[in-house]
Chain A
Amino acid sequence: MSVFTIEAGLAFLGLVLLLVEAFKPDICRRTLGLMAIAGTALALVLFVFAKHDTASLPGFMQPWHQLDTLALFYKGFALVITILVLWLTLECAPYLTRFTVDGKLAEMFSLPLIVCAGMMWMASARDLVTVFVSLELVTVSFYVLVAFARKSAFSLEAGVKYLILGALSTGVLVYGIAWIYGATGTMSFDGIAKALANPATNKTAALFGAAILLCGLGFKVAAAPFHMWVPDVYQGAPTPVTAFLSVGSKAAGFVVLTRALDAFLVENSIIGTEIQSLLLVAGSLTALLGSLPAMFQTSVKRLLAYSSISHAGYLLLALACRESPRFDLSSGGVVAFYLATYLPMTVLGFLGLGLMRANGLGEDIKDFAGLAKRNPLLALLMTVSFASLAGLPLTAGFLGKLFVFLGLADHGYWGALSCAIIAAATGFYYYFKTVLAMFTTEGTDAPALKLSSATRAVAGLLAVAILVLGVYPKPLQKLLKPASATMAARN
């Protein structure tokens, strides 16, 4: 079975679920959710056993799509995060329904499937048009998802902000694409790379187009200075959607960035040095502007939003470091590795947050007080998640950061490295502030917090994934290794 069929099937399933809900309004939301999860899980299984070479794609798709290791990795990534987000939606359903107009959650289960299909397409894009179409498929679905809890003023505000800035950034992105097309005469990444390696190409136009394109993508991945929307939108959006934005949308943005930068920073690229400096500056700024304000947050959800910005900063810095012979992972590989470690820790953090809300608690740091008494297991799991986000050794988060920092040091980008280290150091402060709150004994009179066994299993699995990746990352590296090989071959 071709991967393309699976993707199309996933989008189709999304539409079917939408219709089911429309024609059978009294269907139980749990059934709907489980159907979506089952469908995505089936897609994941089929995906694992599907044919994994570009030749297996339908002929008409081949000029636009490719199936290299990186694409396959991000496709699997998209499926996994979608399953987790759907699960998270089910967990949060009891309080989410209070804020929806008709007390239902139908689109909350079907839209993620369409987003997932979009992300999967984006992963294999080899052309700016494909990128644009799939990016819009994802972004437009997110417009709806962010504003889903319409009765909540926060969610509404978040929706409006996301819509306006998203539309603006789309415009900027298209503008950049147009300039690049003007400068290079092509929209395919391979063609752009070839044109940029040719000294005859108009440098000013190409540089302008590339910079504008990076601005547009910078908005999608929340890179400074286009990160201002993130805290409000993340805080206002329903928690599962925030997790989806923070992991899925970010990964999608970074796969496109990886592809685009592989083209822009091709060997002998006429705009190589400029784009690289741009990335270093943007990455350092993003890491700092994410981390420093995070210290002063009182809401954990907002804190996670800022932390997500700073993680985007590290990822940008990883992209700025090109291949090094002393290092097995290419910059794209490091980004993929980082995102793979970022997935379990972020989802686990948001899962904990969602469970707090589902049990009638708030999202402020002070609401976490005494969590260790109320539910030791949840406190332990959240500690693992936060320790990994902070980048504590022996957790997955440390290795991702280590790769980024080693890459920066190996290339001698000392300024960017110091910014990243400062950001990481402040990270320790604000994550452990929250962990400390969980273990304080004050406020322990609150009732115990109960989790279903399924929830415990999912959360436990995520925590185990964090720890296993932290001490045994070899399989993941192996998974990503051919990616670097093919990219090196292409460049």
Chain B
Amino acid sequence: MSVLEIIIALPLLAALAIWLGAPAHATSLGATLLNLLIVLVTTVQYAGKAATGLAFTYSRPILDNPSLSFAVGADGVSLILALLTTLVMLAAIWQIQDRPAIFYVSSLLIGGGALGAFLTTDVFFIYAFHELALIPTFLMIALHGRAEPAQRKAVAWKATIYLGAGSLVLLAGLAWVVLEFSGGSKLTFDLEALRNQAKLTPLADAKQAQIFFVLLLGFGSLVSLFPFHSWAAPAYATAPTPVAMLHSGVLKKFGLYGLIRIALPLLPQGPHVEWVQNALLLMLLGNILVMGLVTIHAHRLDDTLANSSVMHMGYIFLGIAAGSDIALKGAVVLMFAHGISIALLFGLCGRMRNQLGTLEYNKLGGLATHAPAFTVLFAFGAFASIGLPGLTNFAGEVMIFVGSFTDFKAGVMSNLQWTVILALWGVVMSAVYMLRAYRNIFHGSPTTGLFMIDPAFSQRVPFIMLATTLLVTGCCPWLLLNLMKSAL
């Protein structure tokens, strides 16, 4: 029995209890709070250990050959993501008010699925838990989305088809990995065994590139990698608030986690073979530049946030494309930072929609005078998203940019370095759309008829928690980096 198993099981058991009739709000809040504490203690324990690599491992075989086991284990990356998950889960569940039990159940299932995906070390279960988390996401968008039934169903179907197809490509890629790296005797899904085999007998670069590309397409479409991104913005804009928080904040990171955890260690040369690298750089520039322009064009807050969330994935892909130690660690930090900041923004956006009934920029204005606390909280999210120093996103972005721009020789610029130069413009775009959103909503003269007050203190707590996290890890990024002492 490993503590990680408890962390995975807790939300799922709470969901079951609620389905069987336990009081929804109290049960889910209690379970999530407890889970956050357990994850915190576990993370501190891990940071205290001198050892690196996987800890808290435990394995329960469920099939001999092909060898399949329910194996858990965590290293710094998985613990950072588990921390992100539990933080966002707590905030997402805390801010639910006057909603049917299915909101709690689905939030717990999405969070539990994400925790399972981050903390198991068997490819089969990593994949399975992610799928488990996707189902409630679709159902919630289709059933409780914020649009006309026909429209929200269309949005849900679009997301289902993109993510379903992406998952199948991913499955094909994972099966390929398993077949290549199992060794001669029997098939295994155990990540450690696969890694060892990959170290013993690395594949030829050309083959690594092929497999990496399949995995990139699979994982990438789950992370809304350009041009497989068009499901994401409408889905987030339509999804009920907790689902938008959890999916954009947490579950979307699964694809990036998979690339860092599965694709890169097994196929270290994959992203550096020329055609794959060029393809990846083009796609991530699509995320940053094209989606940046799309975001600038948005004239509703939910559209801005949803598109910006797609855009910011580009930076993380840049870190993965660069593959240097600093860039990869920066990518993980940015995954954490983006998850917290976008969840904060979506949570606040949901409240605004509930109170105001509209999110159109031209109808809003001057909210700062009515709701000062709300404004400050929003500012944390918005400025983090822009990359203001002192908030976590800045640390991640700087590490990625610096880590990607290594080996500079005057006069000979690699494609990667050109990409970094172009990608830096994304920061400017972020500033443009976020500051404009902030000014339109909170400053200027108040619009008549639209009125909003600060939430009660107990309802501010989840957002304060997220904002504090951004500030603390932003000022002390070593808190996160200490968890990743060895090279990724």
Is B176's beta carbon under 8 Å from chain A?
Answer: yes
B182 partner, pick from A326, A424, A440, A472, beta carbons under 8 A = A326
Q: Is B143 a contact of A477 with CB atoms below 8 Å?
A: no
How many Å from the CB of B420 to the closest CB on chain A?
Answer: 37
With contacts A328-B64, A471-B62 known, is A439 near B168, CB below 8 A? Answer: no
CB of A425 within 8 A of CB of B135, answer: no
Interface stretch (choices A253-261, A301-309, A392-400)? A392-400
Question: What is the distance, in angstroms, from B180's C-beta to the closest C-beta of chain A?
Answer: 10
What 1/0 flags go to B154-176 for Cβ under 8 Å of A? 00100011001100100110011
Residues of A within 8 A of B66 (CB): 326-328, 406
B62 touches A473 (CB 8 A): yes
Q: Give the CA-CA distance A473 to B184 in the complex, in Å.
A: 23
Residues of A within 8 A of B128 (CB): 393-394, 398
Provide the residues of chain B in CB contact with A328, threshold 8 Å.
64-66, 186
Indicate which residue in A398, A405, A432, A440 contacts B143 across the interface (CB closer than 8 Å).
Answer: A440
Q: Does A428 contact B (CB under 8 A)?
A: yes
B19 and A380 contacting across the interface, CB-CB below 8 Å: yes
Given contacts A425-B164, A439-B143, A441-B143, contact A409 B179 (CB under 8 A): yes
* Residues in A whose Cβ lies below 8 Å from that of B131: 392-394
B202 to chain A, nearest CB (A): 20
B143 to chain A, nearest CB (A): 5
Taking the complex as formed, is A137 at the interface, i.e. its CB lies under 8 A from any CB of chain B?
Answer: no
Cβ A436 vs Cβ B132 within 8 A: no
B138 located at the interface, meaning its Cβ lies under 8 Å from any Cβ of chain A in the complex: yes
Knowing A328-B64, A394-B128, A425-B168 are in contact, say whether A409-B149 is a contact too (CB < 8 A): no
Q: Say yes or no: B63 contacts A393, CB within 8 Å.
A: no
Q: Are B143 and A442 in contact, with the CB atoms below 8 A?
A: no
Bound Cα distance from A328 to B182, whole angstroms: 14
Q: Is A421 an interface residue (CB 8 A)?
A: yes
Residues of chain A lying within 8 A (CB to CB) of residue B172: 421
Q: Which residues of B contact A477 (CB under 8 A)?
A: 63-64
Complex interface: chain B residues within 8 A of A106 (CB): none
Choose from B139, B165, B168 the contact partner of A436 (Cβ within 8 Å). Answer: B139
CA distance A477 to B186 in the complex (A): 15
Residues of B with C-beta under 8 A to A387: 135
B190 CB → nearest A CB, Å: 15
Query: Assuming the A-B contacts A387-B135, A428-B164, A441-B143, are A326 and B64 also in contact, with contact meaning beta carbons closer than 8 angstroms in the complex?
Result: no
Known A405-B175, A439-B139, A441-B143; contact A474-B165, beta-carbon cutoff 8 A: no
The chain A residue sitting closest to B64, CB to CB, is: A328
Residue in chain B with minimal CB distance to A387? B135
Nearest to A476 among chain B residues (CB) is: B63
Chain B positions within 8 Å of A49 at CB level: none
0 or 1 for each of B20-64: is its CB under 8 Å from A? (1 = yes): 000000000000000000000000000000000000000001111
Contact indicator B132/A393 (Cβ below 8 Å): yes
Given known A-B contacts A429-B161, A474-B64, A477-B63, A393 and B127 have beta carbons under 8 A apart: yes
Q: Which residues of the other chain, A, contact B161 by a CB distance below 8 angstroms?
A: 429
Name A478's closest neighbour in chain B (CB-CB). B64
The answer on a CB contact under 8 Å between B62 and A474 is yes
Residues of chain A within 8 A (CB-CB) of B118 are none
Q: Are B142 and A436 in contact (CB under 8 A)?
A: yes
What secondary structure prevails in chain A residues at the interface with B?
helix
Whether B9 is near chain A, meaning CB under 8 Å from some CB there, is no
A53 at the interface (CB under 8 A from B): no
A-contact bits for B254-273, CB 8 A (1 contact / 0 none)? 00000000000000000000
Nearest residue (CB) in B for A383 is B135
Residues of B near A274 (CB, < 8 A) are none
Q: Is A410 an interface residue (CB 8 A)?
A: yes
* Contact of B97 with A by CB under 8 A: no
Q: A406 CA to B180 CA in the complex, in Å? A: 12
Min CB distance, B22 to chain A, in Å? 14
What's the least CB distance linking B70 to chain A, in Å?
A: 7
Residue B465 at the A interface, CB < 8 A? no
Asked whether B431 is an interface residue with its Cβ less than 8 Å from the other chain, the reply is no
**Residues of A close to B127: CB separation below 8 A:** 393
Q: Does B371 contact A (CB under 8 A)?
A: no
B232 CB to nearest chain A CB (Å): 19
Cα distance A402–B127 in the bound complex, in angstroms = 12
Q: Say how far B254's CB is from chain A's closest CB, in angstroms.
A: 13
| Cα-based distance from A474 to B153 in the complex (angstroms) | 39
Instruction: Map CB proximity to A onto B352-377 as digits: 1 under 8 Å, 0 otherwise.
Output: 00000000000000000000000000
Closest B residue to A435 by beta carbon equals B139
Interface string of B276-307 (1 = CB under 8 A from A): 00000000000000000000000000000000
Residues of chain B within 8 A (CB-CB) of A394 are 128-129, 131-132
Residue in contact with B70 in the complex, picked from A326, A399, A410, A471, CB distance below 8 Å: A471
User: In residues 176-222 of chain B, which contact A (Cβ within 8 Å)?
Assistant: 176, 178-179, 182, 184-187
Which of B124, B160, B179, B187 makes the CB contact (< 8 A) with A393?
Answer: B124
Q: How far is the CB of B61 from chain A (nearest CB, A)?
A: 7
> Complex: how many Å from CA A208 to CA B171?
39
Q: Which residues of A contact B61 (CB under 8 A)?
A: 474
Nearest Cβ in chain B — how far from A388, in angstroms? 12
Q: Are A425 and B62 in contact (CB under 8 A)?
A: no
Q: How far is the CA of A436 from the CA of B66 in the complex (A)?
A: 34
B63 touches A406 (CB 8 A): no
State in angstroms the CA–CA spacing of A392 and B113 once bound together.
13
A5 to B310, CA, bound (A): 67
Contacts of A410 in B (CB 8 A): 179, 187
Question: Which A375-424 residues have a C-beta within 8 angstroms of B?
Answer: 376, 380, 387, 392-394, 398-399, 402, 405-406, 409-410, 421, 424
Please tell me if the beta carbons of B62 and A326 are within 8 angstroms of each other in the complex.
Answer: no
Q: How far is the CA of A398 from the CA of B132 in the complex (A)?
A: 12
- Hey, which chain B residues are within 8 Å of A326, CB to CB? 65-66, 182, 184-187
Q: Which residues of B contact A402 (CB under 8 A)?
A: 124
How close is B169's CB to chain A, nearest CB, in angstroms? 9
A259 to chain B, nearest CB (A): 24
The CA of A325 and the CA of B153, in the complex, are separated in Å by: 46
CA A31 – CA B129 in complex, angstroms? Answer: 46
Give CA–CA (A322, B335) in the complex, Å: 45
What residues of chain B lie closer than 8 Å to A478, measured between beta carbons?
A: 64
Q: Which residue of B lies closest to A428 (CB)?
A: B164
**Inter-chain contacts of A439 with B (CB < 8 A):** 139, 142-143
Contacts from B to A (Cβ < 8 Å)? 19, 61-66, 70, 124, 127-129, 131-132, 135, 138-139, 142-143, 149, 153, 156, 160-161, 164-165, 168, 171-172, 175-176, 178-179, 182, 184-187
New A-B contacts (9) at CB < 8 Å, excluding given A326-B186, A394-B129: A327-B65, A399-B63, A406-B178, A428-B160, A432-B138, A432-B160, A436-B156, A439-B142, A472-B62
State the 10 A-B residue pairs at the shortest beta-carbon distance, nearest first: A393-B128, A328-B65, A393-B131, A394-B128, A428-B164, A326-B187, A472-B62, A425-B168, A474-B62, A439-B143
A-B contact pairs, 6 of them (CB 8 A): A392-B132, A392-B135, A394-B132, A399-B63, A425-B168, A439-B139
